[in-house]
Structure 1
């Protein structure tokens, strides 16, 4: 059978496992996941996350994308996806149209609301134009705020691509995101970009590498930020670090790293008396 199918992720995983003559118990042990979780994923009772897909793929010699399978796109969305890919490619080619900053900010807010509500169809519908507008505005205004706005759009592109299992676009989006915040010094933007980059490592099954990205970003945030912005950045990064450490094959080391990041996240939370939402990121208290 083809390694990449349009079966639901759980069914695709089950087919790949059986093709290799592996029982659920054997694959679960090799991937360091519970048999109960694997069983629920295969019948569709639990979602197959990219991180778990990467862990299950390793002993089968498969990539995370191959385990997840191909996500079909509705016919009316094919044009939107093509337009979004084109906008991502044109990252350094601003348009000639005038972009109203107020309208751009309103669109960014709407995109954040669609993302928070997991309204993926609505987000896909607006991202191609929003990305082109943000690209044009950033090149024209050339301010910290304009490049941060562009980075925020790329963060939403990453979120959407990872959710749809368009992993090539997800990888490219985090690269573009980091490029955008590097155009003008922006320590908070760098921390958020590092969080998403570590997510790409998580999706790819490189949990140790992702944690290195997180720890380096935490150190930079602690040096270059202060007050609630520093706590916000460090808190977000520690939450990502907890997730990465929880997937370590070495459970003893994973527990130690998880507890370290939990402790640091609680320390960051002491700066807040409510959830903080910045640039489509929420640090929940």
Structure 2
């Protein structure tokens, strides 16, 4: 490992540790490594192994990709784990005999995976979720009747976390299989809110196939099936589906439908606080982000709407990293279309800072970085470095 790369990793670990207000001894203890090893890593005298890097990242509550420079082997480690994930779901209905931990432990593990998804920590999901998927399947099939609904809901959430990795890393066949498993498990959860969350995620398959109008029909049917918006959960479930419908309507060039769904999402958002409901962020801030998404989906003639939103509002730090980085990626596209190349590059760099794996695997971010590099060949090396990092060259 080159000395510069080792020093860069050490500096990132030290900076993140200080931001978390941890001493070296405290971080070493949390990561189960010796203080002397941590000191050498932070000083750039030693490069951590994959397991050590994962342990340090977990103790700092960040994805390992935040601590390494360049692509290194983070992406390859995620992709190497995808076949393991595929194997874990192959026998979902024939899980066999396997040890199962108490329900409370399974809940905590599934919630951790959901938090990793929302913060774009895909390596954590890829490495740790496959055995949990097998265990959950065993638990569900062996459960007492009174526990089956809750275990089905845990399965849906776990499949959704796995799907986030498959979808973001281009394994669309695996993603489609995971979504079908979500649709299989959802009825067993006996919750229309869970079913609504599955309908929200299923839209990915329509995006991939560019089947935007059928996707809009599917979402509108899902909206009709959601309970009347009487409490926060049902309001958020309906509102999230309207947000998703607005975006896919924009992709279908159905501007009136996009505006109608976005307006309804905005009306519902006024009835709840911004938060994560059934695994999906919803509230006034999420609707602002979808204003940009819809404008970009409708095409170049609508970019001013996206720019206007960005002038008066930016995503608060309390929002999930994946959603915040998505805002800046879509804003970058609007800025590029508007001829604001420098602003577009700043937005892409912000997206990278928020969620590096999400940004690196986003097709639009890669395309726009390549376009910026072609438009500004004479500019500073930083643009070329960014394009190389994201794989646009």
TM-score band, normalised by shorter chain:
0.5 to 0.7
Specify the structure having the higher radius of gyration (Cα). 2
SS in 1 for 2:93: coil
Question: Structure 1's 269 and 122: CA in aligned 2 closer, same or farther, altered over 3 A?
Answer: same
What displacement does 1:222 show?
Answer: 3.5
Q: Match of 2:109?
A: 107
Partner of 1:266: 266
1:238 Cα deviation after fit: 0.9
Aligned to 1:229: 233
Gaps of 5+ in 1: 1-71
**How far 1:185 sits from its partner (Å)?**
2.0
Q: Give the corresponding residue for 2:303.
A: none
Q: Would you say 1:284 and 2:286 are equivalent positions? A: no
Partner of 1:143: 148
Return the offset for 1:202: 1.5
Q: Deviation string for 1:190-234 (max 9, x for gaps)? A: 1011111122111210000111110000000035x7422221111
Q: Distance in 2 between matches of 1:109 and 1:222?
A: 25
CA RMSD of aligned residues (A): 2.0
Q: Is the 8 A contact 2:78 2:122 kept in 1?
A: no
* 1:121 Cα deviation after fit: 0.9
Quick check: 1:232–1:276 contact (8 Å CA) kept in 2? no
Match of 2:90 in 1: 89
**Could you say if the C-alpha distance between residues 77 and 231 of structure 1 is closer, same or farther in structure 2, counting changes exceeding 3 Å?**
closer
Q: Identify which of 207, 220, 234 aligns with 2:212.
A: 207
User: What CA distance in whole angstroms lies between the structure 2 residues aligned with 1:233 and 1:164?
Assistant: 27
What is the SS of the residue equivalent to 1:118? coil
> Who is 2:203 aligned against?
198
SS class of match (2:281): strand
Partners of 2:169 and 2:263 lie apart in 1 by 33
- 1:23 maps to which residue? none
Distance in 1 between residues matched to 2:274 and 2:134, nearest whole Å: 31
Q: Cα distance, 1:276 vs. partner?
A: 2.5
Q: Shift of residue 179 of structure 1?
A: 0.3
Q: Which moved more, 1:167-176 or 1:195-204?
A: 195-204
Query: 1: distance between equivalents of 2:258 and 2:92?
Result: 36
- Per the alignment, residue 162 of structure 2 pairs with 157
Alignment: residue pair count: 208
Deviation at 1:74, TM superposition (A): 5.5
Separation (CA, whole Å) in 1 of partners of 2:283 and 2:225: 22
Q: Return the offset for 1:177.
A: 0.2
Q: Residue deviations 1:116-152, cap 9 Å, x none?
A: 2211111101110121122122222252211011011
TM-superposed CA distance for 1:280, in Å, is 2.5
The 8 Å contact of residues 99 and 136 in structure 1, kept in 2 or not, is answered as: no
Structure 2 spans left out of the alignment, 5+ residues: 1-72, 285-393
Report the TM-score, using the length of structure 2 for normalisation: 0.50
Distance 1:78 1:164 in 2: 7
Match of 1:275 in 2: 274
CA distance in 1, matches of 2:109, 2:232: 26
Compute the displacement of 1:187 (Å).
Answer: 0.6
- Correspondence 1:170 to 2:175: yes
Q: CA deviation at 1:112?
A: 1.6
Which structure has more relative contact order (CA 8 Å, sep 6+)? It is 1
* Pair 1:118-2:120 in alignment: yes
Q: Are the counterparts in 2 of residues 144 and 184 from structure 1 also a CA contact under 8 Å?
A: yes
- For normalisation by structure 1, the TM-score amounts to 0.68
State the 1:115 CA deviation. 1.1
Alignment partners' CA distance in 2, 1:208 and 1:154: 26
Mapped pair 1:240 → 2:236: no
> Relative to structure 1, is the Cα distance of residues 279 and 231 closer, same or farther in structure 2, using a 3 angstrom cutoff?
closer
